[in-house]
Copies of this chain bind each other. A is one copy, B any other.
Amino acid sequence: MRIAVVAPSCRLTEQAAGRVQAIARDRGDCELVIHPQSFLSDGHFAGPDDARLAALREVMADPSFDAVWYARGGYGSNRIAEAALADLPAAAKSKVYLGYSDAGFLHAGFHKAGLRVAWGPMPQDVVRGGGEAAVNRALDWLVRRDAAALEPALDGPAMAFNLTVLSNLLGTPLEPEFRGVDLLIEDVGEHLYRIDRSMFHVTASPAIRKVRQIRLGRVVDILPNDPPFAGDETTIIESWCRRSGIEFGGRADIGHDAANRVVPFPARND
């Protein structure tokens, strides 16, 4: 299997790239082709919008790649997501797109456009504690659709999003169809009042109210709230589900950590 790595958001570090390449060589079941754009730097981003877009479109259009693996999150894929979908080449539909966090902007728009996308670990995760397992989990799923890599409680159509990213794509041309899916959410580096505000926004959306249920992944690196927020992330999510009439389906095994599992978005039938 040939896997292209590009960085539509922030840049991949050379250290992470080397370690992930070593893992792939040791496995012997896949070839990772890390696009040089992954190492560009332009302020916050892995190169200017034009460069990130060109690299993404190049690997999407290349029929020799079976998968596109986003190098890391951060911020910035929303700036090129719509343009990436213009005049979609046939080869773009024959591959799968894997990543999480900021890649949610791409996942949303790509799923809406009929492409196969999945939430899961990314190359830069290798630098986390336990990161090699995360990278191998992603590759196990990409190469042989290993069920052990999947979020363990999936039992129907599901999507996974970073809550803040989800909030920021609602109402945009990237917004996908949520009807009937299990919506798995997680977040990182937010104050609890922001989690509460994002849940207000997300659960007020008529599109989101069509999900089968919401399940809560991990909310990590929560920033201090002054004064302390009444409740925690679970009571916040449960409370907004109750208020909006959305079923709360319990916890989910996803998050900004090395234990993060794979959540393939539903196959499109249209």
Contact = CB atoms under 8 A, between A and B. Distances in A.
Contacts of A229: 43-44
Contact of A168 (B44, B201, B206): B201
B79 A172 contact: no
Interface stretch (A31-39, A132-140, A191-199, A212-220): A191-199
A204 interface: yes
11 contacts: A41-B227, A43-B227, A43-B229, A44-B229, A45-B230, A75-B197, A76-B193, A167-B167, A167-B168, A171-B204, A171-B206
A196 to B, nearest CB: 7
A67 to B, nearest CB: 27
B200 A79 contact: yes
Given A167-B168, A170-B171, A171-B171, A78 B200 contact: yes
A33 to B, nearest CB: 26
Oligomer copy total: 2
Interface string A18-61: 00000000000000000000000111110000000000000000
Interface of A: 41-45, 74-76, 78-79, 167-173, 192-193, 196-198, 200-201, 204-206, 225, 227-231
Contacts of A76: 193
Contacts of A78: 197, 200
A270 to B, nearest CB: 23
Given A44-B227, A171-B205, 19 more contacts: A42-B230, A43-B227, A43-B228, A43-B230, A44-B193, A44-B225, A44-B228, A45-B230, A74-B193, A75-B197, A76-B193, A78-B197, A79-B196, A167-B167, A168-B198, A168-B200, A168-B201, A170-B170, A170-B201
Given A44-B193, A75-B193, A169 B201 contact: yes
Contacts of A43: 227-231
Contact of A200 (B172, B204, B231): B172
A242 to B, nearest CB: 13
Nearest to A76: B193
B42 A75 contact: no
A164 to B, nearest CB: 8
Contacts of A168: 167, 197-198, 200-201
A169 B205 CA distance: 10
A171 B201 contact: yes
Contacts of A167: 167-168, 201
Contacts of A205: 171-172
